[in-house]
Amino acid sequence: MAYPADLADPQVRLTLLGLLNERLGELNTTLGIRFTDAAPGRLEATMPVAGNRQPYGLLHGGASCVLAETLGSVAAGIHAGEDGVPVGVDLNATHHRAAREGIVTGVCTPLHEGRSTATYAIEITDPDGHRICTARITCQLLRRKL
């Protein structure tokens, strides 16, 4: 999926957010993920804790991983451009504290954006700004035959 990439332009940013939120995919829709900001070197999305808890009433770590992988993969797709296809090849996450309610926010920033791979750091915070998860994803950037 090609995305408009001049994120310095506020109108392009709004258009991109609209496209991202129209094309969330099944899992992201089920988890309630919504993209909230896109800027040069930064992509942000939110996810509710309600509906994404494990049996002990805490935000499921797997839900945090989905939020992180979504942010990193989409950021890689934006970086890769029209003929790029990002494929996640590595994801790791450290869960620092529990979230029990509210909406968590993930912020994705690039660590490396090359021709064949892209790596991103994702920080997920609770409504009070406490870090609940730090993740890192590396995507291989395949080239689509146009």
Residues that are catalytic: 69
Three-class HEC string of 29-83? HHHCCEEEEEECCEEEEEEECCCCECCCCCECHHHHHHHHHHHHHHHHHHHHCCC
Nearest CA to 49 out of 123, 114, 3, 99 is that of 99
